[in-house]
Amino acid sequence: MKESDGLGTGPILYERNDSFVIEAFRCGEFDYLEAVGEVSEADFFRALVGKNVLHKLADTYPSPCKKHDVPVWVYLASDLSMRFHGVHPFHAFPYVVRSGGMVQAFGPEMGHKAVHPQTGDVSLACEGFNEKNTFDRQTPCDQDYLRKMARRTEPDLLQNWFNRDVVGIFKQHHAFDAEGIFIGDATYLFVPNNPNYENSSLMLFDEQNHPVDTSKLTAKERARCTWKRCYKLVSLIHTNWSAEFFLYAGLVVTAGQDHEAPLLYRLVEAFVEHHGRGVMKRLILDRGFLDGAQIGRCKQEWGVHVLIPARHNMDIYQDVLGLAEAGELSFQPWIPPVSSSKPIPVHRPPSIQKREEARQRTLARKKAQTPPPDLPDPSKVRVRSEIATVSRVETFSSCPIPLDVLVNRETYADGHTDYWVLLDTAPIREPARSRQAYGLRTSIEERHRQLKCFSDLESFPSRAFSLVVHQVVFVLLTYSLLQWFLLRMGRKELNPKTQTRILDLLRPALTVIIIYYQNYMAFLTPLQHQELVLTLSESARKKILAKTRRLRRSLAHALEHARPP
């Protein structure tokens, strides 16, 4: 065991060592044995403990308590387990820990299976971490302890912990790659229209959930808008050119009415201050973060190149538009990159080939019989994309440095053209690559959609601001740790998928028997375990039989004074 600097005993690490544990078992030595369905959550926690990540998180956590009857690492593991399963109400923790893999990951000293004497249900029996238990424990810690700990943690300290310490731990474990691509974004977190949601804002939104100003709307436009209560999440996300992972590298939760630009640039400043220059090299933003002075600071003070679109009413946009319409720019075609499709099997059995040929003939016949669809609106059908560059433009007056401009011209089927402009503090040497880089920004919208729809990011059980911030921080922490875990496993192809689908693909339908001995464990299939037992020597068999009987008698009385769940 390890001590974690006053924050409680460190997590117990059971390392897999099949040969060592099996050899001890052949000599009649073991500590505990159980049969489990191998689940991804247990592997997730083993990775956190094996790489000392959980211990580091506990050492730096801004705990509001001076004394810890329950170690901080247990609190963090329990909270991460809830978010891992997409569960946020703390009263659901006993059911999560009973069905999840957290206890399995930390071994029998955290808890083990037992039969409830009154209900006959298979439950958990846990020793706990203090001598204050009147009832037999069925969870490592009480759900009320988790709620009170989260409620009492200051929101500002919790966000600073994520932005400084958590991201620093990611850096220690080489989670940031050499490309240094970061995306800044803001999204609204909508809540019920209840004024008791602390620090929330009531705002008017249009049909696309964009905030609007009532003074600029007609009566007809105002009738289509809706008043909604919300918070705002401003975040920094790290990814690479292939969008193979998404790690949250900074966040702040605030009232919905607060402007996102100052908050985002403070996150960038804090990131460079805490984690050094050169980690963040490229920052991709949308036009909501347009601020000439701050864009200049990013390059001059922090060494970060910014790529951001211009608004149509800006002088720099009008200047390059004039050049384009006067024929002064040299446009070249831009073809969007094609994603690789699944490879077709080299060999197909003749029966499958014959069936596929028949299917294709049926599809062709049905297509010939189907009337042609209505033609799309020509004004919305894009037939050609072109790009051109203008170097060292200085008409963005509030920006202290010259900017390179990427002019994008879209031509539609009815003949009309549209322009949109990207501003870059870095020299644009490969125009197609710059446009492709900006395409990464839209991938963040899919991240937000997944977190809101599949991780219930904005489904807040409590109206206290400290618990709202706590939920956001731990959902994003769990998401980022899972992304890191998949990269470490070599399963980066799973990162773009939803968390539900990731768990479905990671969870094998395999039942294993785990033997624990001296902080080591061995995984055996039922047949392997049976063969091992049947080939034991007589002296080892007697020792194992005696130990098994002692364990069975102790487990029979494990929940005599169990509190009802």
Look at residue 421 and tell me if it is in a domain. no
Least confident of 242-246, 405-409, 442-446, 508-512: 508-512
Look at residue 487 and tell me if it is in a domain. yes
| Residue 377 per-residue DSSP state | P
Same domain, 77 and 204: no
Look at residue 404 and tell me if it is in a domain. no
Query: Is residue 2 very low, low, confident or very high in pLDDT (cuts 50, 70, 90)?
Result: very low
Which long-range contacts (C-beta less than 8 Å, at least 24 apart) are formed by 50-54?
50/13, 50/15, 51/173, 53/169, 53/173, 53/481, 54/11
Q: Give the pLDDT confidence score for residue 66 in this predicted structure.
A: 84
Tell me the pLDDT of the chain averaged across its residues: 83
Same domain, 162 and 289: yes
Same domain, 163 and 240: yes
If one compares 379 and 267, the residue with the highest pLDDT of the two is: 267
Same domain, 171 and 143: no
Same domain, 143 and 92: yes
Last residue of a domain, one of 458, 479, 500: 500
Of 299, 320, 284, 505, the residue nearest 406 (C-alpha): 320
Same domain, 160 and 125: no
What pairs with residue 252 in β-bridges? 234
Same domain, 140 and 169: no
What pLDDT, in 10s, does the model give residues 541-550?
A: 888 888 888 7
For residue 177, give both structure tokens. 């790659």
Enclosing domain of residue 525:
15-153+508-556
Instruction: Say whether pLDDT at 557 is over 70.
Output: no
The stretch 382-403 carries a mean pLDDT of 92
Same domain, 302 and 444: yes
Look at residue 59 and tell me if it is in a domain. yes
Same domain, 494 and 472: yes
Last residue of a domain, one of 500, 517, 539: 500
Instruction: Say whether pLDDT at 331 is over 50.
Output: yes
Asked whether the beta carbons of 493 and 245 are under 8 A apart, the reply is no
Last residue of a domain, one of 500, 521, 544: 500
Same domain, 139 and 162: no
Q: Please list the alpha-helical segments (H only) found in 398-430.
A: none
For residue 164, give both structure tokens. 């400084």
The stretch 480-496 carries a mean pLDDT of 73
Same domain, 160 and 299: yes
User: How many distinct structural domains can be found in the chain?
Assistant: 2
Look at residue 379 and tell me if it is in a domain. no
Asked whether the whole model's pTM tops 0.85, one would answer: no
Look at residue 333 and tell me if it is in a domain. no
What pLDDT, in 10s, does the model give residues 334-363?
A: 888 776 555 555 567 788 788 888 888 898
Look at residue 189 and tell me if it is in a domain. yes
At residue 277, the 3 state secondary structure works out as: coil
Q: Give the pLDDT confidence score for residue 489 in this predicted structure.
A: 65
Look at residue 4 and tell me if it is in a domain. no
Same domain, 33 and 132: yes
Q: Give the pLDDT confidence score for residue 488 in this predicted structure.
A: 75
Of 305, 506, 533, 322, the residue nearest 404 (C-alpha): 305
